[in-house]
Amino acid sequence: MCQVTETYRDEMKQDEPPSELKKCVKCKEVIAVVAIKAGDKYCRGCFELYFHHKFRATLGKNRVIFPGEKVLLAVSGGPSSSSMLRQVQEGLSLNAHKKLRFMPGIIYIDEGGALDQSLHERKQTVTKLDDIFKASGFPYYIVPLEQVLDLPSSVIMMAPSSQQKASSYKASVDDFIRKDTCSQLTPEQKNDTSFHFVQELQTRQLRQLINCFKTLTAKEDILSNLRQHLLVHTARCEGYSKLMLGDNCTRLAVKLLVSISLGRGAQVAQDTNFSDSRYGDIISVRPMRDYSAKEIAFYNHIFNVPSVFSPNLNTKIKEKASIQHLTESFINKLQVDFPCTVSTVYRTSEKLQTTCMSSSYTNTCDRCLLCMCSLDASPENASALKATQISKCLSQTKSGVANGALSPIQNTESRGTTIEKCSKGRGEHCETSVEERGCCSVIRVPNSTDVTSLLCYSCQLTIKDMSSIDCLPHYILLEAQIRQRRSRMRDEITDFLLDD
Q: Residue 444 in 3-state DSSP? A: strand
- Whether the CB-CB separation of 133 and 140 falls below 8 Å is answered with yes
Q: How many CA atoms lie within 13 A of 302 on its CB side?
A: 18
For residue 72, give the nearest of 198, 223, 246 by alpha carbon: 246
CA–CA separation, 382 vs 389, rounded Å?
12
CA–CA separation, 100 vs 182, rounded Å?
11
Separation in Å, CA 296 to CA 48, 97, 406: 11, 22, 60
Helical segments of 96-168, H only:
119-136
Q: Tell me, what's the pLDDT at 295?
A: 93
- pLDDT < 70 positions in the chain: 1-21, 161-197, 354-365, 376-380, 382-385, 396-449, 500
Q: Are residues 301 and 199 part of one domain?
A: yes
- Is there a domain that residue 10 lies in? no
- Whether the CB-CB separation of 143 and 107 falls below 8 Å is answered with yes
Q: Are residues 486 and 354 part of one domain?
A: no
CA–CA separation, 446 vs 449, rounded Å?
8
User: What's the length of the chain?
Assistant: 500
Q: Are residues 415 and 323 part of one domain?
A: no
Q: Are residues 362 and 412 part of one domain?
A: no
- Is there a domain that residue 171 lies in? no
Q: How many CA atoms lie within 13 A of 468 on its CB side?
A: 8
Q: Helix 44-62 crosses helix 293-302 at what angle (to 10 degrees)? A: 130
Q: What is the largest CA-CA distance in the chain?
A: 117
**Residue 111 contacts by C-beta under 8 Å, 6 or more apart in sequence?**
145, 223, 227, 310, 312
Q: Tell me, what's the pLDDT at 492?
A: 87
Residue 298: what are its φ and ψ, rounded to 5°?
-65, -45
Q: Are residues 461 and 360 part of one domain?
A: no
- Is there a domain that residue 401 lies in? no
Q: Tell me, what's the pLDDT at 421?
A: 44
Q: Tell me, what's the pLDDT at 181?
A: 45
Structural domains counted in the chain: 2
Give the distance from CA 153 to its chain's centroid: 19
Q: Are residues 279 and 197 part of one domain?
A: yes
Q: Strands, E, within 267-342: which ranges?
A: 275-276, 283-285
For residue 463, give the nearest of 186, 116, 167, 222 by alpha carbon: 222
- Is there a domain that residue 306 lies in? yes
Q: Are residues 460 and 332 part of one domain?
A: no
Q: Are residues 254 and 139 part of one domain?
A: yes
Using left for φ > 0, alpha for ψ between -120 and 50, and beta otherwise, residue 41 falls in: beta
Q: Helix 323-337 crosses helix 341-350 at what angle (to 10 degrees)? A: 120
Q: Tell me, what's the pLDDT at 406?
A: 43
CATH number, domain at 62?
Answer: 3.40.50.620
DSSP assignment letter at 242: E
DSSP assignment letter at 41: E
- Is there a domain that residue 251 lies in? yes
Q: Tell me, what's the pLDDT at 351?
A: 81
Q: Are residues 419 and 334 part of one domain?
A: no
Residue 193: what are its φ and ψ, rounded to 5°?
-115, 55
Q: Are residues 460 and 320 part of one domain?
A: no
Strand partners, 74: 107
- Is there a domain that residue 224 lies in? yes
Q: Tell me, what's the pLDDT at 364?
A: 59
Q: Are residues 203 and 341 part of one domain?
A: yes
Q: Tell me, what's the pLDDT at 266?
A: 81
CA–CA separation, 203 vs 201, rounded Å?
5
Predicted structure pTM score: 0.81
- Whether the CB-CB separation of 242 and 65 falls below 8 Å is answered with yes
Residue 139 belongs to domain spanning? 34-163+180-366
Q: Are residues 428 and 309 part of one domain?
A: no
- Whether the CB-CB separation of 87 and 102 falls below 8 Å is answered with no
- Is there a domain that residue 88 lies in? yes
